[in-house]
Amino acid sequence: MANFFSFRILLFVSITSGVSVSATVFMVQNNCPYNVWPATFSGNGNALGEGGFQLAPRESKQLTLNASPGWTGRFWPRTGCNFDSSGKGRCVTGDCGGVLKCTATGVPPATLAEFTIQGDTGKDFYDLSLVDGYNVKMGIKPEGGSGDCKYTGCVADLNADCPHELQVTDPNSNGNENVAACKSACAAFNNEGYCCTGANSTAATCSPTDYSKRFKKACPTAYSYAYDDATSTFTCSGANYLITFCS
C-alpha cells in the first residue's frame, strides 16, 4: 500500500447548493503486532468507515471523504476489543459505547488524530493529541499536498513509562499489571489546573504541568495539554493522509 500516496485523487461534485465537494483520502494502517479497532467520529455527522472497523497486523483500509469544506473529524485506536456478530461488545481502551461502529466519541484514554478538512479550497488543519491520554503509538503523514505538510505523531511507548497514578491496566492480563493505556492528568485527578477549566480556562491561566511536560518530552509534536497549539497544530493544502498505528 506504500505507493498509494504517489498520486492525488481529485473529485469535484456539483450539488444543488452550488458548493464544491472534493475527495480527501485517508489510509489507515495497522503496523502493530496485534489487532487494532480504529474508530472514527465526525462533528458534521459524516463519520468515515461507518464509525469503526477492525485491522489485523499489517492490514490497512482506505477511507474516502466526500464532504464540503469544513469537515471535522477524529480517528483513534481501540484495543482489547471483543464484538459479537451484531457488532456489540467492549474494548479495553477507546471504547465508544459498546459498539463496533461508533456514533459517539470514545472513552479516554486514547491517542487521537484530529482533522479539519478544507479539501482544495484552503488549508487543512490536523494534530495528534494526547490531551485525552494515550493508548497506542500513532502517526499522521500528509501526502501529495502543498504547504508545510509536516509529519506529526507519538511513537514513544508512553504505556511503558506511564506514572502509576495514570495507568490503566488490562483486566485480561491475569494480574500481570499489563498497562493498556495512560490517562491524562485531567482524567486522573479532575482538577481545574490539569483540565484547563474554571479559573484555569484560558491560555494565560493554564500552564503545562509535570505530567503534560512528560508527554511533551516523549512526543514533541503532539498536543500535551489544551493550550499546546504553537508546536502541535499543523496545516497542509490538498493532501491525502496516512494514519498509522505503531509507526
pLDDT in tens, 54-84: 999 999 999 999 988 999 999 999 999 999 9
At 170 the pLDDT is: 86
pLDDT in tens, 128-165: 999 999 999 999 999 999 999 999 999 999 999 999 99
pLDDT in tens, 200-225: 999 999 999 999 999 999 999 999 99
- The domains of the chain are located at 9-156+221-245
Among left, alpha and beta (phi > 0; psi -120 to 50; other), residue 33 is alpha
- pTM, two decimals, is 0.88
- Cα gap 47→59, rounded to integer Å: 20
At 119 the pLDDT is: 81
Torsion angle (degrees, nearest 10) of CA 238, 240, 246, 247: -70
pLDDT in tens, 171-198: 875 545 689 999 999 999 999 999 999 9
Q: Which CATH architecture has domain 9-156+221-245?
A: Sandwich (2.60)
